[in-house]
Chains A and B, each alone.
Chain A
Amino acid sequence: MNLVLDLFTVVAVSAGVFFFFAGTVGLLRFPDALTRLHALTKADNLGLGLVVIGLLPRAGGLPVALKLIGVWLLVLVSSATVSQLIGRAARRGKLQK
């Protein structure tokens, strides 16, 4: 059982790291603000989500597990809001290219 849980953690965290990596590459390589935001959301939403899911079996208790999920949800709320604001500013042409 422990081996299965460890394997689950390794797979999920690795997948999360992959999305962080892909998001970072996108942030560096994509041409404008909107596509860069698109790349960043992969790191915030999927990457962090997968890392949190992967760490849940190792949390050692329900309160810690709930806190981990809470951290993910808070990051989701703030990143979604900031993406909206940056995207709107980009659409109105307020950002320098």
Chain B
Amino acid sequence: MSINFALTIVLALLVLAAAGWTVAAPDAFAAVVGFVIYGLLLALVWMSLRSVDIALTEAAIGSGVTGVLLLGAGARLRSAEEPAANERAGVALHVMAAVLCTSITAGLAVVVLILPEPAPTLAPSAAAHLAGTGLGNPVAAVLLAYRALDTLLESAVLPLALIGVWSLASDRFWGGRPGIRHRADREGVLVFLPQLLVPFGVLMGIHIVWVGADDPGGKFQGATILAAMWILTMMAGINDTPPISRRWLRGILVAGPLVFLAIGLIGFAVPGAFLAYPPGWGKPLILVIEAALTPSIAAALGLLPAGPPERAPKG
């Protein structure tokens, strides 16, 4: 048994243990902590499969942003947790949930196991046409050239999710600032961290967007780091969440998907298909799309954890 195989087995057992803990945890907070650990372990699994792009996304979005969102949701549900714990669901419901989840897992396992050997793959043709896209990273080529429609829809989902969260606001708070105002930390620890970290974090976020063309990275991962830096300054009380009625904010949120859609429509005119890039223009157009999408994604991810507006707009 090689050492790599042993490490894989240990990693798989750790993932299973983290998943079990997430389901069995006594309260929502413990479950979210388990979920974040589960996400980070999954990132290690993707790393061991040499899928660095997916590992980065899993760590940043699957574990990081989703963890923060779930922590916020858990805090809001804390008052409801005690009564909910007393209402025990019936045995039949437990059994049905267990059967459903087990059959989904078993079905996935069967599908993976009956794949022909070697598994069907489009990787050679993706690599063969890489030069035509002007990109060096095949994952980026899939996201922004071969399957650009999927990415366009994904980028449109984020503003829609944010509109969904905002629409939970009560009428008098509409147009106000999301979330509570965090007071600046008098003893300074939480103010010191963003002062030190944010310049590096912004640099790293932009770097990861930029290298995404040729190396693992890209707009989603980079924008997540930028959003995390913004959230850090808001949590430390250095700046406040912007009122959701601000035009600049709404402009940034929709600019990315709109630019993407516009470039996609230009494709009808020149090469003759939606989201097709004119020959030789692939790389510059992709750069424009990434540059417009990054602030949109960062703004949406930064504002999602703050929740719906909770403070009435002034005047």
Chain A residues close to B by CB (< 8 Å): 74, 77-78, 81, 84-85, 88
Q: What 5 A-B pairs come out closest when comparing CB atoms?
A: A84-B189, A81-B193, A81-B189, A85-B189, A77-B196
Nearest Cβ in chain A — how far from B104, in angstroms?
34
**Of all chain A residues, which has the CB nearest B194?**
A81
Closest chain A residue, CB of each to CB of B201: A74
Name the residue of chain A whose CB is nearest to the CB of B189: A84
Contact, CB under 8 Å: A88 / B193: no
* CB contact between A85 and one of B190, B196, B197 (< 8 Å): that residue: B190
Q: Please, which residue of chain A has its CB at the minimum distance from the CB of B188?
A: A84
For the residues of A in contact with B, the DSSP-based class is helix
The smallest beta-carbon distance between A19 and chain B, in angstroms, is 20
Binding site for A on B (CB under 8 A): 187, 189-190, 192-193, 196-197, 200
Residues in A whose Cβ lies below 8 Å from that of B193: 77-78, 81
Determine the chain B residues whose CB is within 8 A of the CB of A81 once the complex forms. Answer: 189-190, 192-193
A77: B residues at CB distance < 8 A: 193, 196-197
Shortest CB–CB separation between residue A18 and chain B, in angstroms?
19
CA distance A56 to B197 in the complex (A): 24
Most buried by A among B192, B193, B200: B193
Shortest Cβ gap from A44 to chain B (Å): 15
Would you give the shortest CB distance from B148 to chain A, in whole angstroms?
A: 31
Q: Give bound CA distance, A46 to B189, whole Å.
A: 22
Given contacts A77-B197, A85-B189, 14 further A-B contacts (CB under 8 A): A74-B197, A74-B200, A77-B193, A77-B196, A78-B193, A78-B197, A81-B189, A81-B190, A81-B192, A81-B193, A84-B189, A85-B190, A88-B187, A88-B189
A residues less than 8 Å from B190 (CB atoms): 81, 85
CB distance from A89 to the nearest CB of B (A): 11
Give Cα A84–Cα B193 distance, bound, in whole angstroms.
Answer: 11
